[in-house]
A and B are shown apart, each in its own frame.
Chain A
Amino acid sequence: MTDEIEQREEVPKSRKRTGKNQPVQDSKWRQQKLAAYRPVFNATSVFPWTTILGAIFLGIGILLFVTNLNAKEIVIDYTNCRNPNGSDVNEFIESNDGAFISLIERTEHEGETTLNCQFRINLTEDYFGNVKIYYGLRNFYQNTRGYVKSRSDIQLAAASPSDLLNTGDCGSDDSKDTIERDGENKTLVIAPCGKIAFSMFNDTFKLTYKDIIEVPLTTRGMVHETDMAKKFKNPPLPAGSSNLCDAFANTTKPKSWPAPICEIFSKSEAGQGFANKDFQVWMEPAALPHFRKIYRLLDREADIFSKGLPKGEYTLTITYNYPVEPGELNINKTFIIAIETWAGPKNLFLPIAYIIVGGVHLFISAALFGLYIRMRYKSD
């Protein structure tokens, strides 16, 4: 770009006078003579820049594209694991692309029906590196205004027993519940309150390698624990008690939950109560209706998996707890195994966008250059 620096000669200083009427001061601000660039944007000056930008963008685009080749992910849509008719058990269904076969089994245990799905996943290549396990939801609007708001952050970061009873913006319907306890009806604060908490995702996944070895998964590094500790705290335990449920004594469970918060994660390795990482992950609203949330990371301490997931056959067993009506709501549930690069997960959008924008800029350069030549000949 051709710029020119304002060249101005110094104007002799006007002599100072005292008195009521101060004469004008000869400062650069007052006389509007600040040092400045005067940019000129025309074909001559712009086309080098667009060329450079185009080249840079093309470069970045190609770099991203190459990088993206290293990113791997396998997405398993298991929404249909639940048969719409709901009557058949132990049914095999084939995925659309035929990459895997799933087995649905319905077991009954102590009067409760548990729906399990088994998927056979054939990793055709090695997934070496930090393998991340996500669960994904599509067309699940975790970002509607009422939903995002429906929570009490004070309650979740319960610094004191009274904070626990704070229901914030949960809304009257979702903050209190009347239950029978000790023989009388009591109206108690729900902990955790609000729509987000009520609708917490609770499917669980188990991955086995070659039908024998259970793939070790870890919660380490799933969330930024120090950050989350600021947002999610279990209420202090009453003196002398070691049972978390004592801290939640004056609250009741969300209606849709099978157990109160202090018990529901008892078998989970991800933490208890509000400190449960799965809970924390869910409580962070996703920005877009198609989203994925971290489920676990591959624990690479075990020898076999120290490099990552080797290729081969895997069996994914899903405990299907989270009810979605596949037909009507159009909500899909997915399970994702992913290897990410520095540029993020596998996504061709950015590389392609960069390449296109780079190309557009090169095209603009060419056009401007043509224009420049034309003007040059015209003036000659």
Chain B
Amino acid sequence: MTPAASHKGHHRRTSSLWRPPTRPVLSNGAHLIREKAETSGRALKQLIPFSRWIFDRGPRTIEFRTIDPNNLPEAPPRYEQSNPKFATNRICTTKYSPLTFFPKNLFEQFHRLANVYFVFIVILNWEIGLYGRMLAPIPIVFVLAVTAIKDALEDYRRYKSDQKINHQTCRVWDSREKRYRKMFWKHILVGDFVHLSHDEIIPADMLLLRSSDPSGICYVETSNLDGETNLKQRVAIQAMAKYHSPTVPLEFSPENFNYKVIVEEPTEDLHRFEGRLEVPDGEPPLARENTLLSKNNVLLRGCMIKNTDFVEGLVIYAGSETKAMLNNSGTRYKRSSLEKLANWDIIWCVLILLILCLIGAVLSAVWVEQYKIPDQIPFLVQIFGVTGSNYPGRVDLWSEGWHNFLTFIIALQVMIPISLYVSIEIIKLGQIWLICNDSRLYYEKKDKKMECRALNIPEELGQIQYVMSDKTGTLTENQMIFRRCSVAGKDFGGMSVVSEESSAKPLKEGISRDRGLENLIITGLKNGESVTSTSPIVPLFLTMSICNTVVVNSKPHEDLMDEEGEIITSPLDKNKSQRDFGADKPKQQVHFAASDENQTPGRNTPDSLDSIELMEINTQETNDRNSLGSLKDVKEIETRFDEEEEKEIKEEKTEKKEETKTRRLPGILSKSPTSLLNLSSRLKNFTPFKRNSSKGTVSITSGESPPVLSFYDSESPDELALVEAAREYGVRLLKRHFDEIIVYTRTNSNQMRFKLLHTLAFDADRKRMSVIVREIRNNDSNREGPVVLLCKGADTTILPLLSEEFCTSEIGGDRVHMAQLHLSDYARQGLRTLCLVRKVLLEEEYQAWRAQHEEAELAVHGKEERIALSAASIEKDFELLGVTAIEDRLQDGVPECIQALREAGIQVWVLTGDKSETAINIAYSTRLFFDSMDLLNIQASGIRAVSDLIDLYLERTERRSTISTFGLVLNGPCLDCCFDPFNLDRFINLLKRCRSVLCCRSTPLQKAALVNLAKHHLKGKVLAIGDGANDVSMIQGADVGVGLSGQEGMQAVMASDYAMARFRFLAPLLLVHGHWCYNRLANTILYFFYKNAMFVFVIFWYQIFCGFSSQSNMDPFYLLVYNLLFTSVPPLLYGFLEQDASYDMLLENPAFYDAGRLGKKYKWYSFWLNMLDAVWQSAVVFWIAYGAYEHAKLDIWTLGTLQCAQLLLANSVHLALISQYWAWPLLLSLVGSIIFFCLFAAVYNLLPVWLITSMLNVADPPIMIFQRAVMMPRFWLVLLLSTVLCMTPRLTWIAIRNTYHPSRALVRRIETKEETQQSQSPTYSFNRERIEINNA
């Protein structure tokens, strides 16, 4: 850009990725030792907080560190520089390294109580030796291994993402080659000089040394850090001011930076930074104020450079010491309510286990007691004989009982389902995988899948009772289009939205503006009107382009240095710059990897863009040629109209001159609304910020030539829409400086300059923003115009502030009246309205206010309130300029989705910041409200008034609760009154009676408060869905947070548990996946309880016949692997595959959702019913075998094999019975597990004796037991009988229940089946019924 810049680029290299050499391994050992000492010093420092915590609770003193910049001309190798003692920029978010994985992972796993319990069992067994000491740890080792594998995979994923981040590149100063070179982020050291371009992400915390901006300013977007989307300003350090002087800037090179930087030790506080520069000896000293560094000088890692061509900075904290990383706390762990319920039942399991153990212990003692001379009883193997007492050989019953209690704990350990946790986790992973892969949740336009960020709460989706939705961007597209405006009592651009949509025209059609309005502007501008003119039209458009925080750039930000660190020598080469810009794009996609949209930047669609621009140019040319005035202009334009229209226009022309009558003209977008929509969507998808460009290639003869390109960045899409609309009408915001705004008017090719005196920023309480400007006429700073305050805001806050004088004047009163009419009209159409007002300030009035305001700005305490007060003191007595209406289109399928959710019994609350009329309108169009609904609108001021309203409505709902449903409309300000403890209870009562709730004008905090209210007072499961930063607190507060990856950046997605592309996906997500997940998990958990309990009860029945000696009737080996190998896969597959109703049926019948919403599948008694079933089945399994083999020859392991087979068969059939979806994998796994058991038993019984004895420690090795057992017909007879008898009660119960009270899904299924049957053969089914009845 500056000619001097080119000298930096010495050479061109093809590939210059700079990989700094690592220290040679066999180098001087002293370095290593020194480095070790330093790093261990760092480790020690990390321990300091602990020591301080232990020894000293005094206030912390700030410690400082000194950073030497890495710019010495005789640079040592990088690894020998003095700064590596600080953390490098390599980040590592992985929990483990290959070396530490096992100890660390084990340590973490033992935080789970169940694992500790099972290790306790293993240790107990080691002492007592109930099972083989080698055998007992199998289950716990298996569970630990599976969890460890899962953790390892997750950690590997983190490692991959770390790698990706670490291998991003940026340009770092190489002091040897004296140029910037591309380098991986991970190689950046503290003290490095880094060069960043526009839209690049800051790799480490840096001190801003230099910016491309002459005033040393640079903008950063910090949304990655704190979620705020607005641009923040950062200033280069004072000491570098000489390089920023707007007059004669010195050329800066890192070599010139000869200070040491002293900064405080890293802290996680984002808003805190202390540091200073230190001048080494022999250098010219600095003024003290120039050495101070503040947080305004610091660029934090993770932020993005905006609106600045390039910056250069010095790394002060890197890697793990950056504020971003220090603030990066791990993911939240949410626990679902189903899991909580299950945990209660696990406690019941523990109780049952203890009771069984106690019974066993007592009865074992009683059993032993009956043998008076135990010494002589061969089978009484006493462990605690009392010696030396009067009764030699008597058993110490207490010790015996206690010992047996412990052995019973081991023998019955499976009562606590060890495999439950790991199975549930696997099932949840599988469910999430299925959700992510659902093609119906895939948004093809943006190539976006469903994204599940929380892994452990899929079943919560099935239990949602309240859905809290944001409106803008969630229900709507969040693509703002300026539709209409009301100015001077007239409505422009008016055509109903419906008719516009129906008359959609091809894209190529030139976009038309409201000609009438345009001509008015042209006239006004020609007449030299400006902000202070009496006609409101030109001031309105000026306000549209001035009163905002839009950041304008005359050109795309282009850095003279390319990615390789080379300096581009011909920056004005257009192709080159275009290529550069294009080259910037892929990088950007990396930065916004999470948004990974298939973006098409504006410049890639020249056709549509040019169509506007050429249009503009044409008009411009016409204007230039026909400098006579507007009349000819209009004629030119007229030629494009149809004959009939032409006539109208001619009429209108005369009308316009008189400016008395009002008339509607074709809307600016009426010709082709879709084309503009498409265009703007393409333009806006570019970044989280809106970006638009206008490009004119026509040279303009008069005045200063306006820049070729314009780029607008704004945090608010509304503002952008206004600025763009103003540009369309020929009032183009050209430049926006710190203190100066330049507007270019196309009509007279003039530049209007305004001195920006103050910006009173938007806040949610005031609901308006203002700028105070002074017009500078004719570029002559001596001729200053009056000071004008321009303000835009919501009508409710603005209209009361209109000046008395204006409202009472004839014209003014009329205008206000008309504006109000139009406002309600716009609101009815669901348009977002803004009132634009103006106030011309008298000089002395302004000066007085300025003094007061500056005082407020300097205030130490309560600064914000004072500024707000001061702003309020000037924002009054306005004069109405006009009203604008912006359309925000509804997303596809939103009404249907809300309808479905409502049918599912979910209460949908829409929480929006819009005004109530707009919001209510949207509510109707989204079917949140419908015509038969009784709307209760709480709109009053003051707690008492609100209280009265609540009382009134409560009465009303009581009276008519049976007749109609109610919708509640809340208002932000009233909401605070409702939350008052005085009103809260009745308010909650009222909320309970309303089907839908709409809350308008709510702040993010109020949204979060409502979520909390629903969670804690209405005791409901809340899902919050939103797309913007203002929804983050709501999303985080809810049980399930859903982020929409839409227009407003990634904050909502980052905070969410689930991220998806469209609102309408909510219906399948909840109604289908949520329903399934809940159903599956609830049943799986219950099944696990049943399965384990049954197993334990079978063992317990046997105790009656073995003297309660805790001998198990099954081979210990089966005992340990039964849950892990024989019966693990089918429940898992059940958890993945079960469908009580098909996808389509669930979508068509949202009412089925209440199974989960009301928690029908898992009630407190579900556990006990399953226990009861377990008792029955275990009794059947044991007693049938007992009866069949009583008094017969039967060795213990034959019985064990039989019992195990019985259990397995009963469990398998049971699972098939509760499943309503016999998918082939499930059936296969059921059959497979039985076959597997047989093979396992057969192979196991072939093992040599020494192996079984020494490894498994099974007494009397079961050689060929299984093979002999299956040869006996009795084995099969018992198996058949017990299996059938086990299932009889449940099958009968299910059959009776399905006949008397069939589930709705079943009814639907049978109905559809009958329908198809009837359609196939209508007479057949009729006949069959007849025959059946006759038979009866």
Q: Which residues of A contact B (CB under 8 A)?
A: 2-4, 6, 11, 14, 17, 19-21, 23-26, 30-47, 50, 53, 57, 60, 64, 134, 136, 140-151, 153-154, 157, 159, 168-169, 171, 195, 198-199, 224, 227, 230-231, 283-294, 325, 328-329, 342-345, 347, 349-350, 353-354, 357, 360-361, 364, 368-369, 371-373, 375-376
Task: Tell which of A19, A36, A371 touches B1224, judged by Cβ atoms closer than 8 Å.
Answer: A36
B257 in contact (CB, < 8 A): no
Residue of B nearest to A349 (CB): B1187
A353 to B1113, CA, bound (A): 22
Contacts of B379 in A (CB 8 A): 140-142, 144, 147, 195, 199
Q: Output the residue of B439, B1191, B1274, B1329 with the most chain A CB within 10 A.
A: B1191
Closest 6 pairs between A and B when the two form their complex, measured CB to CB? A146-B381, A199-B378, A42-B1298, A349-B1187, A287-B1199, A36-B1223
Taking A42-B1306, A53-B1284 as known contacts, 12 extra A-B pairs with beta carbons closer than 8 A to each other, sorted by chain A number, are: A4-B1309, A17-B447, A23-B449, A33-B1143, A41-B1295, A46-B1295, A157-B1250, A159-B1250, A291-B1192, A347-B1188, A375-B1300, A376-B1333
| CB under 8 Å from chain A, chain B span 1220-1242 | 1220-1226
B945 in contact (CB, < 8 A): no
B1288 in contact (CB, < 8 A): yes
B1261 in contact (CB, < 8 A): yes
Whether the Cβ atoms of A350 and B439 lie closer than 8 Å is: no
- 19 A-B pairs with CB atoms under 8 Å apart are A14-B444, A19-B447, A34-B1137, A38-B1221, A40-B1309, A143-B1111, A144-B1107, A157-B1250, A168-B1253, A169-B1259, A224-B1264, A230-B1261, A231-B1263, A287-B1194, A293-B1193, A342-B1273, A344-B1188, A371-B1300, A376-B1333
A360 to B1289, CA, bound (A): 11
| CB under 8 Å from chain A, chain B span 1316-1336 | 1329, 1332-1333, 1336
Contacts of A153 in B (CB 8 A): 1249, 1252-1253, 1259-1261
Give the bracket for the number of chain B residues in contact with chain A: 35 or more
A57 to B1282, CA, bound (A): 12
A17 to B448, CA, bound (A): 12
Asked, given contacts A21-B448, A288-B1105, A290-B1191, whether A144 binds B381 with beta carbons under 8 Å apart, the answer is yes
Whether the Cβ atoms of A148 and B1196 lie closer than 8 Å is: yes
Contacts of B1272 in A (CB 8 A): 344
Whether the Cβ atoms of A285 and B1260 lie closer than 8 Å is: yes
Asked, given contacts A34-B1224, A34-B1225, whether A41 binds B1248 with beta carbons under 8 Å apart, the answer is no
Whether the Cβ atoms of B1191 and A376 lie closer than 8 Å is: no
**Minimum CB–CB distance for A289 against chain B, Å:** 6
**Minimum CB–CB distance for A212 against chain B, Å:** 31
**Minimum CB–CB distance for B19 against chain A, Å:** 25
Contacts of A290 in B (CB 8 A): 1190-1191
Whether the Cβ atoms of A227 and B1263 lie closer than 8 Å is: yes
Contacts of B434 in A (CB 8 A): 30, 32
Whether the Cβ atoms of B1193 and A32 lie closer than 8 Å is: no
Q: Which of B186-194, B284-292, B369-377, B932-940 contacts its partner?
A: B369-377
B865 in contact (CB, < 8 A): no
Residue of B nearest to A36 (CB): B1223
A34 to B1138, CA, bound (A): 11
Asked, given contacts A23-B444, A38-B1221, whether A372 binds B1261 with beta carbons under 8 Å apart, the answer is no
Residues 1195-1214 of chain B, each 1 if its beta carbon lies under 8 Å from chain A, else 0:
11011100000000000000
Task: Tell which of A6, A34, A291 touches B1191, judged by Cβ atoms closer than 8 Å.
Answer: A291
Whether the Cβ atoms of B1260 and A288 lie closer than 8 Å is: no
Residue of B nearest to A32 (CB): B434
B687 in contact (CB, < 8 A): no
A3 to B1142, CA, bound (A): 14
Contacts of A149 in B (CB 8 A): 381, 1259
Contacts of A47 in B (CB 8 A): 1295
Asked, given contacts A38-B1221, A57-B1284, whether A347 binds B1332 with beta carbons under 8 Å apart, the answer is no
**Minimum CB–CB distance for A7 against chain B, Å:** 9
Contacts of A199 in B (CB 8 A): 378-379
Whether the Cβ atoms of A136 and B1299 lie closer than 8 Å is: no
Residues 1248-1277 of chain B, each 1 if its beta carbon lies under 8 Å from chain A, else 0:
111011100101110110001000111001
Task: Tell which of A24, A60, A151, A198 touches B439, judged by Cβ atoms closer than 8 Å.
Answer: A24
Residue of A nearest to B1200 (CB): A287
**Minimum CB–CB distance for B639 against chain A, Å:** 46
A31 to B450, CA, bound (A): 13
Whether the Cβ atoms of B1263 and A287 lie closer than 8 Å is: no
Whether the Cβ atoms of A287 and B1223 lie closer than 8 Å is: no
Task: Tell which of B377, B1268, B1298 touches A329, judged by Cβ atoms closer than 8 Å.
Answer: B377
| CB under 8 Å from chain A, chain B span 1290-1313 | 1291-1292, 1294-1296, 1298-1300, 1302, 1306, 1309-1310, 1313
Whether the Cβ atoms of B1296 and A371 lie closer than 8 Å is: yes
**Minimum CB–CB distance for A347 against chain B, Å:** 7
A25 to B449, CA, bound (A): 11
B391 in contact (CB, < 8 A): no
Asked, given contacts A39-B1222, A168-B1253, whether A146 binds B1109 with beta carbons under 8 Å apart, the answer is yes
Contacts of A294 in B (CB 8 A): 1193
Task: Tell which of A230, A293, A345, A368 touches B1295, judged by Cβ atoms closer than 8 Å.
Answer: A368
Q: Which residues of B contact A (CB under 8 A)?
A: 129-130, 371-373, 376-383, 407, 434, 436-439, 442, 444, 447-449, 593, 596, 1105-1107, 1109-1111, 1113, 1137, 1139, 1142-1143, 1184, 1186-1196, 1198-1200, 1217, 1219-1226, 1248-1250, 1252-1254, 1257, 1259-1261, 1263-1264, 1268, 1272-1274, 1277-1278, 1280-1281, 1284-1285, 1288, 1291-1292, 1294-1296, 1298-1300, 1302, 1306, 1309-1310, 1313, 1329, 1332-1333, 1336
**Minimum CB–CB distance for B1272 against chain A, Å:** 7
A-B contacts counted at CB < 8 A amount to: 281
Contacts of B372 in A (CB 8 A): 328
Whether the Cβ atoms of B1259 and A39 lie closer than 8 Å is: no
Asked, given contacts A11-B439, A21-B448, A195-B381, whether A157 binds B1249 with beta carbons under 8 Å apart, the answer is yes
**Minimum CB–CB distance for B1006 against chain A, Å:** 36
A29 to B1199, CA, bound (A): 41
Task: Tell which of A285, A289, A345, A357 touches B1192, judged by Cβ atoms closer than 8 Å.
Answer: A345
Whether the Cβ atoms of A343 and B1274 lie closer than 8 Å is: yes
Whether the Cβ atoms of A30 and B1187 lie closer than 8 Å is: no
A372 to B1333, CA, bound (A): 10
Whether the Cβ atoms of B381 and A24 lie closer than 8 Å is: no
Whether the Cβ atoms of A371 and B1222 lie closer than 8 Å is: no
Contacts of B1259 in A (CB 8 A): 148-149, 151, 153, 169, 285
A368 to B1297, CA, bound (A): 11
**Minimum CB–CB distance for A255 against chain B, Å:** 12
**Minimum CB–CB distance for A345 against chain B, Å:** 6
Task: Tell which of A35, A136, A143, A169 touches B1105, judged by Cβ atoms closer than 8 Å.
Answer: A143
Contacts of A26 in B (CB 8 A): 439
Asked, given contacts A43-B1295, A53-B1284, A230-B1248, whether A195 binds B378 with beta carbons under 8 Å apart, the answer is yes
Residue of B nearest to A20 (CB): B596
Whether the Cβ atoms of A24 and B438 lie closer than 8 Å is: yes
A151 to B1263, CA, bound (A): 16
Contacts of A31 in B (CB 8 A): 437-439
Residue of A nearest to B1187 (CB): A349
Contacts of A42 in B (CB 8 A): 1295, 1298-1299, 1302, 1306
Whether the Cβ atoms of A292 and B1250 lie closer than 8 Å is: no
Task: Tell which of B442, B1196, B1281, B1299 touches A285, judged by Cβ atoms closer than 8 Å.
Answer: B1196
Contacts of B1263 in A (CB 8 A): 227, 230-231
Contacts of A60 in B (CB 8 A): 1277, 1280
Contacts of B1300 in A (CB 8 A): 371, 375
Residue of B nearest to A372 (CB): B1299
Whether the Cβ atoms of A35 and B1224 lie closer than 8 Å is: yes
Asked, given contacts A41-B1291, A288-B1194, whether A30 binds B437 with beta carbons under 8 Å apart, the answer is yes
A151 to B1196, CA, bound (A): 15
Whether the Cβ atoms of A6 and B1142 lie closer than 8 Å is: yes
Contacts of A343 in B (CB 8 A): 1273-1274, 1277
